[in-house]
Structure 1
Amino acid sequence: MPSIASSCCGSVGEHQPAVSGQPLGGQPGTGQPGGAQLSDSQGYDLVVQQLIPGYASLARLAVALLAASPKAGEVGAEVLVAGCGTGAELVEARAQRPDWRITAIDPSLDMLEAAQCRLGRDGIQWRQTRVEELEAEACFSGALSVLVLQALPDDGTKLAFLTALARSLQPGGQLVLVDLMAPERSPLQPQVQAAWLGFQRASGLSEQQSREAALAQGLYPIGVSRLTALVNAAGFGDPARIFQALSYEGFLLQRPA
């Protein structure tokens, strides 16, 4: 992957101290989806796969969708990974589109270091920051945000995050957004919740571990109607659903050309 030292978003910022062992989902703005403790990237990835149906395919699908978009499909496109976590999307991006010039951001130093250990420092522009602080104006052809919005309260913080993402994209640029969504009111919802716990136990988590790693702990899921209102206010068109596994859903958003 080529170096992106000349990226329109500037050079890599200085790392600031961060606390190790962050709870999954306890650090707003990172792709940390639950309540279990993080000790290393392999342990994190294993726990997430045990908690989230379809997680093993999410990164591959997200990258493939973005790579098929008109803007990010171009050779050498600049792509933002907002809340890169331990680097699952970065691994897939490097495999599928080694020509992409990638900026990976996360407010957690632990997460950035885990991703750097996994991928190396070269060929990716690493920034310990939030997208709201990136000050990127129409820099990127596309962006990925997986399991990030769910950690932000709906008190203006979600809107600020989405607005910053829209602002960072070129006109016509697309965002792949994947998050835990608030369940629809349905008499079948208790069955869905039971299936979720059953999936976790079948994946290797005990009942006690499932309770301790409650996926909604510290998270702020919203419904599709609220998401639509937020993304429209942020500057995107209506969301197009491209993935669903129980309460986890993925959407393709586009900044109007």
Structure 2
Amino acid sequence: MTSLSHAKFDPDRAREYGKQARIALAGYDACHELCACILSAALAGHKERCVLVVGAGGTAGEIITTARLEPDWRFVAVDPSEPMLALAQSQVDAAGIGERVTFVREEVSALPLEPQYDAALMIGVLHHIPEGRDKARLLADIACRLVPGGSLVLAGNCRSYDSEPLLQAAWANRWRLHGASEEDVEVKLARIKAGAVPPESEDAVAALLAEAGFSIPKRFFASLFWAAWHTRREM
């Protein structure tokens, strides 16, 4: 995540992140669970592994769930937002797995190239990066820190919001179901649309991954504008 994109995650937004994320993404917890299940399956037979978690700030759902499934894995959690990383660390500590997670308040590009990671998780990050070249650079930064053949589980919004008015209307209904007023719904939608720039399509995601040195991604989860994929660093 770039310095400009992470600046919006101030302490107030960090505090409300978990609740709002679960409304905005129908199936939030299911997605995190499936990401853990896919990664565990992809690395089957490898007991002790180290996983890079990119944009790890927030609920730490991907770390906690994966750690529960794989008790011998360790994690390096990277996020440039101090409030969001602090929130994640509090969740990890509450789950009793703090000794298995190293938190780094930095960009991926600041990490050393060695030692390399066996896999990476990046959930809900790519659409917060406005420029296509910065999206591509982040994916390349991840790729060069993975072992050849290492897995990446990637999830996020993957199509232009205005390209799908039906999905956008259904999205608004999610907040209505959770008690938001019409004014609140308009504010929330405007905030999302102003603060995030998803790739134009799943094909665009695949193209970004290919440019960074990853294989053709396999989608395993979808919810309105959101999707999740597994891919590998090419040998």
Is the contact between residue 160 and residue 197 of structure 2 (CA under 8 Å) also seen in structure 1? no
Cα deviation for residue 138 of structure 1 reads: 6.3
- Quick check: 1:246 aligned with 2:224? yes
Asked whether 1:77 is paired with 2:55, we answer no
How far apart, CA to CA, are the structure 2 residues paired with 1:63 and 1:256? Answer: 21
Q: Which residue of 1 aligns with 2:62?
A: 89
Compute the displacement of 1:154 (Å): 2.7
Amino acid in structure 2 at the alignment position of 1:83: G
| Alignment CA distance shift 1:31-1:106 (3 Å) | farther
Q: Please give the alpha-carbon distance, in whole angstroms, between the structure 2 residues aligned to 1:55 and 1:31.
A: 21
Map of 1:194 onto structure 2: 169
- 1:201 is displaced (CA, Å) by 1.3
In 2, the alpha carbon distance for the partners of 1:235 and 1:221 equals: 20
Cα displacement (A) at 1:36:
11
- Equivalent of 1:119 in 87, 92, 95: 92
RMSD: 2.5
Q: What letter corresponds to residue 255 of structure 1 in structure 2?
A: R
2:136–2:208 Cα contact (<8 Å) kept? yes
Q: Which amino acid aligns with 1:177?
A: L
Q: 2:147–2:233: 8 Å Cα contact kept in structure 1?
A: yes
SS of 1:116's equivalent in the other structure is helix
Offset from partner CA, 1:102-131 (integer Å, 9 cap, x none): 111110111111112222242211100111
Aligned to 1:133: 110
- Name whichever of 213-222 and 140-149 sits farther off: 213-222
Note closer, same or farther for the CA distance 1:29–1:141 as it changes in structure 2 (3 Å cut).
farther
TM-aligned CA deviation for residue 54 of structure 1 = 1.3
Structure 2: give runs of 5+ residues left out of the alignment.
Answer: none
Among the aligned pairs, what percent are the same residue?
A: 29
Q: By how many angstroms is 1:140 displaced?
A: 1.0
TM-score computed with the length of structure 1 as normaliser: 0.79
Residue of structure 1 in register with 2:79 after alignment: 106
Q: Which runs of 4+ in 1 moved over 6 A?
A: none
In 1, Cα distance between equivalents of 2:187 and 2:171:
14
